């Protein structure tokens, strides 16, 4: 082949630049480091390996030189060292400190999560917008004790998402308890980062919906049908044959006479008016899709002439009740489990099912609503007594609207004004 003279001259004096192709092991190493998460990278620097980390956007990179030459035969050793460094950063060490610990040149600092919990409790109960100790125990203590036990265990979770999932997996998606445990744990993690010098990698996710989830479309509702007053009396009489039965019967009496949600059994207090009149007060409070449940005075609606003297027994602190859990739907579940073992309840459920209805622990509360409307109490007053809005009351208790309309028109028809000229 004959080359053009000018081209030969050009090649002789201006050789083509040498193309340097990255080797496959280099790409593998870089991909391994990138897979650790956002902000992790590695590059060659003067024949050595430089590791970089930037967790927070717009934050200055942290970087260190690894004690490895940029060579294929050292890739596996470097990857092992980098993974060890990464795990140490999850425990709160910066990149430089993590590197020294991984190399054996500095002691590993263990985070005292138990102390963090103690400090958080003090912060929540003693500082601005403080909550009561009882509220802390109800909303925070159980989930945070579970979390600390996991964090100080032999194989602790290494990310907020993993920790949250471990602490909520026993509760169904969309449930009130799952939501409360998620929110309480996220508050604790935010506190440890902002006030206990935990690494920013422990900041919880801003969007918690993926953890809380939604209730399944076919999930069973706790809204069941009401019992008749006589059915309640028969059931309670059947239960009162043992000491344990008496305790559970007392719980059902309170649900019946005061129209309580099961969980409200753990929030009852006897109070006194300025005139010396004693009454029962419920301190239960929550926010939900149905509105706000506020603490309220309870109004008794006994069955006929039955007088169980519940207020006097509570005031004297001599009423015996079963040991109840205030955690989430725990009380309702405890009552359900007890009743399901009683022949009188299973027989009653079969009887009610025959009339195309269904019983549950809320059936006693619903019976209170029916009783009130039969006595002519308007829907607004019943809604207030039961601790929910008028809208919720009319939606959940359709008989309330019918009863109110009937009462109003009966009153109008009996009015002397109807026949006046």
329 vs 277 pLDDT, higher one: 277
* Longest distance between any two alpha carbons in the chain, whole Å: 128
**pLDDT tens per residue across span 91-145:** 667 788 788 877 766 555 567 899 999 999 999 998 867 888 888 888 899 999 9
Annotated domain spans of the chain: 26-102, 113-212, 229-413
Q: Decide if 295 contacts 283 (C-beta within 8 A).
A: yes
* CA-based radius of gyration for the chain: 34
SS3 270: strand
Encode 269-292: b = buried (16+ Cβ within 10 Å), e = exposed.
eeeeeeeeeeebebebeeeeeeee
Distance of CA 31 to the CA centre of its chain: 37
pLDDT recorded at residue 418: 40
- The contacts of residue 252 (CB under 8 Å, 6+ apart) are 232, 235, 236, 239, 335, 364
Q: Is residue 1 scored above 50 in pLDDT?
A: no
Q: pLDDT grade, residue 57 (50/70/90)?
A: low
State pLDDT tens for residues 189-246.
999 988 888 877 788 888 888 888 887 655 444 457 889 999 999 999 999 989 999 9
pLDDT score at 161: 87
φ and ψ at residue 79, rounded to 5 degrees: -65, -40
Task: Pick the closest to residue 145 from 109, 116, 178 (CA basis).
Answer: 116
Q: Is 174 strand, coil or helix? A: coil
**C-alpha dihedral sign at 109, 110, 115, 116:** positive
Residue 382, token pair as written in the block = 């019943």
Per-residue pLDDT reduced to its tens digit, 347-381: 999 999 888 888 999 999 999 988 888 888 887 88
Strand partners, 297: 281
pLDDT, tens digit, 9 for 90 and up, residues 64-97: 999 999 998 888 888 988 988 888 777 667 788 7
The 3-state DSSP class for residue 299 equals coil
Phi, psi of 89 (to 5 degrees): -65, -30
How far apart are alpha carbons 5 and 7 in whole angstroms? 5
Burial pattern 396-417, b for ≥16 Cβ within 10 A else e, equals: bbeebeebbeebeeeeeeeeee
Q: Residue 271: phi, psi to the nearest 5? A: -125, 175
Per-residue pLDDT at 237: 94
Tokens read off for 123: 């912060």
Measured CA angle at 177 (ends 128, 92), to 5 deg: 60
Say whether 279 sits in a helix, a strand or coil: strand
Confidence band for 390, pLDDT divided at 50, 70 and 90: low
Number of other CB atoms surrounding residue 389 within 10 Å = 15
Tens-digit pLDDT profile for residues 286-345 = 765 555 678 999 999 999 889 999 999 999 999 999 998 765 567 888 999 999 999 999
Region of poorest pLDDT, from 192-196, 277-281, 404-408:
404-408
| Three-state SS at 219 | coil
Instruction: Report the CATH number of the 229-413 domain.
Output: 1.10.443
Contact 34, 40 (CB under 8 A): yes
- Say which residue the tokens 């980062």 belong to: 193
Q: How confident is the prediction for the chain on average, in pLDDT? A: 82
Whether residue 55 has pLDDT greater than 80: no
Both structure tokens of 273:
């008016």
Taking the whole predicted model, whether its pTM rises above 0.85 is answered as no
Q: Distance between CA atoms of 403 and 377, rounded to whole angstroms?
A: 9
């Amino acid at each position: 082949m004959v080359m053009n003279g000018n081209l030969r001259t050009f090649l002789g004096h201006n050789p083509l630049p040498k193309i340097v192709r990255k080797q496959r092991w280099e790409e593998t190493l870089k991909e391994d480091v990138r897979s650790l998460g956002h902000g992790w990278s590695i590059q060659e620097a003067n024949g050595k390996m430089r590791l970089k980390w930037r967790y927070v956007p717009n934050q200055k990179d942290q970087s260190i030189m690894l004690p490895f030459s940029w060579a294929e035969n050292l890739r596996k050793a470097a990857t092992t060292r980098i993974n060890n460094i990464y795990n140490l950063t999850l425990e709160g060490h910066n990149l430089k400190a993590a590197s020294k610990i991984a190399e054996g040149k500095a002691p590993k600092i263990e985070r005292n999560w138990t102390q963090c919990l103690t400090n958080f409790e003090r912060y929540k109960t003693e500082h601005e917008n403080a909550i009561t100790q009882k509220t802390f125990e109800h909303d925070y203590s159980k989930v945070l004790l579970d979390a600390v036990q996991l964090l100080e265990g032999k194989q602790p979770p290494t990310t907020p998402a993993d920790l949250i999932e471990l602490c909520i997996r026993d509760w169904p998606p969309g449930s009130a308890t799952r939501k409360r445990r998620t929110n309480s744990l996220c508050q604790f993690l935010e506190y440890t980062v902002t006030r206990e010098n935990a690494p920013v990698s422990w900041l919880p996710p801003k969007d918690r919906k993926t953890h809380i989830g939604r209730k399944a479309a076919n999930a069973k509702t706790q809204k069941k049908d009401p019992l008749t007053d006589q059915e309640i009396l028969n059931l309670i009489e059947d239960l009162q044959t043992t000491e344990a039965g008496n305790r559970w019967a007392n719980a059902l009496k309170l649900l019946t006479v005061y129209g309580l949600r099961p969980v409200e059994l753990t929030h009852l207090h006897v109070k006194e008016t300025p005139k010396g009149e004693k009454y029962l007060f419920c301190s239960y409070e929550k926010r939900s899709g149905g509105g706000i449940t506020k603490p309220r005075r309870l109004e008794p609606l006994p069955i006929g002439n039955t007088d169980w003297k519940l207020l006097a027994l509570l005031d004297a602190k001599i009423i015996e009740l079963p040991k109840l859990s205030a955690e989430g739907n725990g009380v309702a579940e405890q009552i359900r489990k007890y009743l399901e073992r009683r022949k009188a309840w299973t027989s009653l459920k079969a009887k009610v099912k025959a009339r195309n209805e269904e019983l549950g622990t809320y059936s006693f509360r619903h019976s209170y609503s029916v009783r009130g409307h039969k006595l002519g109490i308007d829907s607004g007053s019943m809604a207030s007594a039961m601790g929910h809005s008028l809208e919720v009351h009319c939606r959940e208790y359709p008989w309330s609207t019918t009863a109110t309309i009937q009462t109003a028109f009966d009153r109008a028809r009996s009015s002397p004004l109807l026949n006046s000229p």
